[in-house]
Amino acid sequence: MATDTIKIAYIGGGSQGWARRLMYDLALEPRLSGTIALYDINHDAAKTNQRIGTLISNHPDATGKWTYEAIPTIEEALKDADFVIISILPGTFADMAKDVHFPEKYGIYQSVGDTVGPGGIRRAVRSIPLFMEIGEQIKLHCPDAWVINYTNPMSVCTRTLYKAFPQIKAIGCCHEVFETQHLLANMAEEMLGVTVENRKDIKVSVTGINHFTWINEATYQNIDLFPLYAKFAEKYAHTGFEKEQGKWEESVFHSSNRVKFDLFQKYRLIAAAGDRHLAEFMPPVYLKNPQTVHDWKFHLTTLDFRVKDQQRKISENEKVFTDDTRIVLEPSGEEGVEILLALLGIEDLVTNVNFPNKGQIQNLPKDAIVETNALIRKNSVQPVRTNDIPLNVANMVNRHILNQEAVIQAVLTEDKNLARNAFVNDPLIAAISYDNAVSLFEEMDVWQQN
């Protein structure tokens, strides 16, 4: 395809966050141009992003020129698209309030509530029908398009796309590993006395599933970083580590990495996601109560924060239209545009992706959505095979893979009993009595979303 006539269908094109990041990155890339079809169930939000995208593309520093169009139907948005980007919010703030806060009645606390745990499962049940529909529409209107999914629960949503359209060319993308590379870069600077210019200079081998991702090899200029990390994790096990000490208290997205260090000391692999995600995959060691969370130096992400964060993003979008606001084109740090370049054959890329397991992790179930490195080149994503996950970690990862598969199967076959059994098997929920877990399932209306 010509790189100056690309069509990207953006499902969730009214996004206040991801859309702006993509727009900036596209504007900074001179080798690509074309049309972005913005589709969102909130058409007014898509129209707002059409205006913002046009302003960004017309910026004097923009070298990538794009036409942004708010499209009223998903069919029209997808028609003949070369790429599809999915970034949606499955549900309302009322849904999220029940996802995150209702389980607190039973003593279950969640730091995010969008991937596993009671909130993650309830969100999955809402998401699966949506992603079945999206996958089926892609099959009808742009079956050869490459699909990049950013929506959580990442593994469930991406797996559902393949359930809807087995021949789909879809990957899931997440930036959590990037942050761990930054941490390793900070470690190398402290312990080796070097300056790491770019987090990509930290070479890692990635394994596991999204938000419960692990690094089993890490090097900097051919120096094995694992022995250093063992010392680093021991040194900061109790105090935590940040480049700017104390910064973790400023934002729910920051932590002191104490959960990462504790997991390394227990399992001897480097956990490669934020502490607030990692904590939810475990029994409530780190999420026993709010004081425990504070002691481990990370945060519970409350509904109040989410509402205020959305209001902040809306306000930032509105400021784009004021005369005294200057758009500053800065790279987002995401790799979406680099992935487009690689799939178009412009430059190869090796990065972590969520993709069906075709043997890249031998001791995890076939076709499960796993996260590993992949070589991306023209019209091709080739997952990189990793070493088997150690048994003690594989046991934990497998539990979540099978639970997520059970939830998908339950929704697709309308099997409430299977959904309930998966729910009570989640490690956070299994910490309470079976009867209470069943009561929580019913009282949260997990199944009414189907």
Out of 141, 175, 238, 299, the active site residue is 175
Alpha-carbon span 342 to 139, nearest angstrom: 23
Cα-trace Rg, the chain: 21
Q: Is the dihedral of CA 319, 323, 327, 328 positive or negative?
A: negative
Angle at 144 between CA 139 and CA 145, to 5 degrees: 90
* Burial degree of 174 (CB within 10 A; 0-12, 13-18, 19+): buried
- Alpha helices by DSSP H, listed for 165-281, are 176-192, 226-235, 258-267, 275-278
Nearest-angstrom CA–CA distance, 78 and 139: 10
Cα separation values, 253 from 22, 145, 333, Å? 20, 33, 16
Structure-token pair, residue 355? 């993709």
Please count the helices (runs of H) and the strands (runs of E) in the chain: 16, 13
Could you confirm whether 238 is annotated as catalytic? Answer: no
Does a cis peptide bond (omega within 30 degrees of 0) precede residue 153? yes
Active-site annotation, residues: 175
